[in-house]
Amino acid sequence: MEKQSIEQLQKICTQLRRDVLRMVHAVQSGHPGAPLGCAEFFVALYFDQLRHNPDFKMDGKGEDIFFLSNGHLSAGWYSVLARSGYFPVEELKTFRKINSRLQGHPATHEHLPGIRVASGSLGQGLSVALGVAQAKKLDKDDHLVYILMGDGELQEGQVWEAAMYAAHFGVDNLIATVDYNGQQIDGPTTEVMDLKNLKAKWEAFGWEVIETKKGNDLSSVLEGLEKAKSLTGKGKPVMNLLYTEMGYGVDFMVGTHKWHGSPPSDEQLADALGQLEETLGDY
């Protein structure tokens, strides 16, 4: 894929946000907050970083592959997959409807290109990503495996089983990113179950850790992913703590858990879309 300018990438981010809001609004269900906060990450990954092939192959041999462990960000993932050519953009209108490949949470049984494992029940993605990374090592395939997890998701014990495993086996062809937005369904993570010092935790588990402090600034996100890539192949798994704001891009949605799993009303949608220019054409 041809490299795009920051301005072009920014336009895709804006369109992704519009897609997410319209998808969730249309079925009055889904999770708008987190994908709005991860727009820059999704776009930086799919339109700049990944060496990937939208002619989808399940085994992902000879390409970089991505897993979404926090499956409730599905609307954002579907948008970036469609916008980067995995399936027709028109199909976004089937999100969460009957007989759709775009299930509420990502699934493989409808064979939606880009999805390699179901996710939604939290805490499982890192293990799966590690397995694929090890398969790549066995096959001497030097491509990378990427994964996004939620910060609240780190409360699941399996994540730490996987964290320990990754360092033990030196799975250094994997870049994990945590969407560090500090919010979860019941409130701020500090109140629900405090994650305390995440950087120290991952370092103590034997990971190389970087922090991307401005997770909604495209240049910073790209810089962080480049830095993460430069740290692969050195014997340690790589963790990218991505500080984002849930609901970013819409003034009344930003920085609160309120929009974790709530769709906007007609008026709220109109207000939100007024803040986001239609750049690539709505689906």
Scanning 93-101, 131-139, 223-231, 256-264 for contacts with other proteins by CB under 8 A, the matching segment is 131-139
Among 6, 110, 169, 185, binds other proteins (CB under 8 A): 169
Q: Between 157 and 274, name the residue whose CB sits nearer to other proteins.
A: 157
Element spanning 243, H or E: strand 238-243
Q: Which tokens belong to 66?
A: 């991505």
**Region 221-280 residues binding other proteins, contact defined as CB under 8 A:** none
Say if strands 65-68 and 187-188 run parallel, antiparallel, or are unpaired. Answer: unpaired
For residue 223, the minimal CB distance to other proteins (Å) is 28
Among 4, 8, 53, 127, binds other proteins (CB under 8 A): 127
Angle in degrees, CA 89, 267, 35, rounded to 5: 45
Among 9, 128, 178, 225, binds other proteins (CB under 8 A): 128
Q: Is 157 in the site for other proteins (CB under 8 A)?
A: yes
CA distance 7 to 29: 31
CA distance 28 to 101: 18
Q: Spell out, one character per residue from 135 to 154, where the chain touches other proteins: x when CB under 8 A holds, - when not.
A: xx-xx---------------
Residues 6+ apart with CB under 8 A from 67: 116, 117, 119, 125, 128, 129, 132, 145, 146, 147, 148
Residues 6+ apart with CB under 8 A from 138: none
Q: Is 110 in the site for other proteins (CB under 8 A)?
A: no
Scanning 1-9, 75-83, 132-140, 220-228 for contacts with other proteins by CB under 8 A, the matching segment is 132-140
For residue 164, the minimal CB distance to other proteins (Å) is 7
Among 11, 54, 101, 165, binds other proteins (CB under 8 A): 165
Q: Are 31 and 105 in contact, with CB atoms under 8 Å apart?
A: no
Which ranges of the chain does DSSP label H, i.e. alpha helix? 6-27, 33-37, 39-44, 74-83, 125-138, 157-168, 189-192, 198-204, 218-230, 266-274
Q: Is 88 in the site for other proteins (CB under 8 A)?
A: no
Q: Which residues pair with 207 in a beta bridge?
A: none
Q: Between 165 and 227, name the residue whose CB sits nearer to other proteins.
A: 165
Q: Spell out, one character per residue from 55 to 74, where the chain touches other proteins: x when CB under 8 A holds, - when not.
A: ---xxxx-------------
Count of residues interacting with other proteins (CB under 8 A): 37
C-alpha torsion sign, points 222, 276, 20, 84 = negative
Q: Between 123 and 263, name the residue whose CB sits nearer to other proteins.
A: 123
C-alpha torsion sign, points 57, 40, 241, 36 = negative
Scanning 28-36, 48-56, 110-118, 206-214 for contacts with other proteins by CB under 8 A, the matching segment is 110-118
Q: Are 183 and 189 in contact, with CB atoms under 8 Å apart?
A: yes
Q: Which residues of this chain interact with other proteins, rule CB under 8 A? A: 58-61, 107-109, 116-121, 123-136, 138-139, 157-158, 161-162, 164-165, 168-169
